[in-house]
Chains A and B, each alone.
Chain A
Amino acid sequence: MADRTLPIPGSLDATRLRDAALLEWLHSWVVTVDHKKLGILYVLYAVFFLLVAGTEAMCIRIQLVVPNNHFLSPELFNEFFTMHGTTMVFLVGMTIIFGIGNYLVPLMIGARDMAFPRLNAFSFWLSASGGLFLYFSFIGGFGLYGMGSAPDITWWAYAPLTEKPFTPGHNTDYWALSLIVMGFGTLGAAINTIATAFSMRCKGMTLMRMPLFVWLMVVTSGLTLITITPLTAAQIMLVIDRYLGAHFFDAQAGGAPIVWMHFFWIFGHPEVYVLILPAFGIASEVIPVFSRKAIFGYPAMVAASVGIAFVSTTVWAHHMFTVGMTSVGNTFFVLSTMMVGIPTGIKIFNWIATMWGGKIRFATPMLFCTAFLFQFLCAGLTGIMLGVAPWNWQLHNSYFVIAHFHYTLTGSFLFCIFAAFYYWYPKVTGRMLSEKLGKWHFWLFFIGFHLTFDTMHFVGMLGMPRSIYTYEADRGWSTLNFWISMGGLIQAIAVLIFAWNLIRSYLDGKEAGNDPWDAWTLEWSVPSPPPAYNFADDPVVRSRRPLWDLKHPDDPDWKYEQ
């Protein structure tokens, strides 16, 4: 042992082993501080957990396909829907936006990397270990049911169910601790994004010339700083309750479960916007390029984004209309909730106005963005319905709510993420994704999505609550649940096609070139994939669409922009 030299990758005197190349390659990914590599790591990690959480969703749907089914035990069902929600929000949603942001923000503002490359790597590995830690709970701690103790406390984890007397195992601990770790990772990524956008922009790129995607990442990061903080505080209080004898939320010793709800939803509602704002950013990049027009009302789009972020911090208790607030309290949150409709309305109108008068090419990214517009419109309208407090007393915690937030998180957020994949995959890999598979993916996912989530609205109105592992045959929900599950199956097939497309196109996709979409932002001016240093020369811009100016020297944007 003593005389053997360990092959430290990169060190000059290391003995080269047969698989040293592979080791070095792996090592380069582990120690990388390059924003592009970290972005890819984030995204791959998110795609992996998208498949995991999707599998959990399919198990949930198999269990509910017929009444009184015994596919899953109640315990496992509760674990699966808790893990589905937690995974999709924290391990898929949060990581994928910061992954895409990581990759694109420096490229879009003409920078060579993020402001703090080491913090960037640290943030990723924190988030990644948090996620692995969460999933270790399936096999890790001892549980009552012989299969570890994955959290089965719902993703909103209301106290006092999470307190020691009611969950004596370790499920809540895994949930709380992994979210604390991931939370710190997310905070690092958010600080980095803000610092990068504010201090690394290339010459000529004023704040009002930043691509909208970068603006939305800045707003989302700001919102992240506001929202992750109370979540982390609440998790720490919960752990103190469980192990150090405090009684923050423990009703049996005089604590207040309502306080947990406030903490959780002060995080939880803005969190929805943390996820959806980058999706807006993606739509604001894709829609203009495929409509062949500049974004309509850029200043209003920026103002609306900032406005949404501000208003979104005042609406949290609309998740709590049923906890017995006073009439005045309820009325306040009705008003603040409905106010969100104004800036989001502006955004929808501006996107439609961008398409108006254009020459729209319906390539796969644009298909996803168009469907996003339609579904986001529906999500906004059902959001208004849920914001009407008395109606919320009926709809709250029913399948109508599930339908509504899947319209935002799947129908809007995930559709935009898919658009981003088809749009920027050529930049990242140098290869186009297959359009044929892309169209299959889109149409199957679109049909499956509507079959599942449109139907859920109705079964919710017929009185079916969420979080139930079984239901009686005579409640009138059976047929609808059958179709909901069938829709889920179609979506699952579509996602598999997508995963296959990612792999196949990487191996033998069409060469992309620098600028396959004839686009206008800076990332398309560099080779695909971009070199480690991004830009050989620091770019200088004079408008929001530097590549438009290059392509149309006689008719540049800077002459017209407000």
Chain B
Amino acid sequence: MAKVMGLTGNEAVAYAVKQCNVDVVAAYPITPQTIMVEVISQYIYDGEMDAEFICVESEHSAMSACIGASLAGARVFTGTASQGLALMHEMLYIASGLRCPIVMGVANRALSAPLNIHGDHSDMMGSRDCGWIQIYSENSQEAYDWTIQAFKIAEDPRVLLPVSVNIDGFILSHCVENVVVLEDEDVARFLPPRKPLITIDPTKPITVGAICLPDYYFEVKFQQVQALKEAYNVIREVNREYEKLSGRRYDFVEAYAMDDAEAAVLCLGSTAGTAKVVARELRKEGKKVGVVKPWVYRPFPEESIIKALGDVKAVAVLDRACSFGAPFHALCSDIIATLYRHGKDIKVFNCVYGLGGRDITPMEIRSIFEETLETARSGRVREYIKFIGVRE
């Protein structure tokens, strides 16, 4: 009999971390991630989880300590958000460059200025080129499931890259939902203790973090490119294995009502939930619309996106972050590049929404869908970049 718990996104991630037998957690509290580390601290202080909790003095030190612990061979977790992720920025590149399979929960939040504590994707999008595998969850269940899978993906010797599991700040981090959880023994079987290929074990000394000048640096970076490619296969394998264990099927992309869709909305995270509800209503009205939700943002799942989009004629790509001065915002740029590369003539427009936690309503999503249908009919994009719900 499956066990169901009422968990917020933060608690779901923390519960998964406990079941994953993590050795070291180094973290600094920041809204809206705070509860994630509070719950983990409670587990450790209550003796329910055998881990070292390093309550560091900054996020920069959090990621630094994680890198050190990971190199020593420990299974490592941290969590952060917003300014904290920005402060870690330097270390994110070192974590991936040194091939540390760290897992990080990110309760996505807007970046200052002006100061704002609410959800948007500016934080992770600002670090999207940091060489991490990046996963976005739609709800607490997905946050729980992906956190467990993240360790398995990260630690696979073919990958050895850090993974971020993203949950929308407040919308997911603080919202209680039913989460079907696995038994501890099942998680332990799925994810045995980490067996690192190489560590800094001083009885077999190695040098880590050498200076690589122009004669070697490029090759090291190229290996990271290859590892992210390799991650495709590993993510697929882990998804299949996890499906056998949990009965829940994950993939690079979720396609909702896309089979005969003429137009689609493509978005990350919790907004996909609202978009699905709206798509269902529109379907009842006979309008052929669907939703495409990339679970995996890096490595960017081009093939899966092309497959999910199928024969749609128009797609609206929703970005919850601004790439200031860019021709399109981050997710949309990736989608347009993907369509170009695959020779697909799908009309695309970009909707920037929800910055600083501003709600996006079903009504707004409905009007976006209607515009995609209009674009599909006319074959002409009326406005390439729209700002949804902003007072101009």
State whether these chains interact: no
Query: Chain A residues in contact with chain B, CB under 8 A?
Result: none
Query: Chain B residues in contact with chain A, CB under 8 A?
Result: none
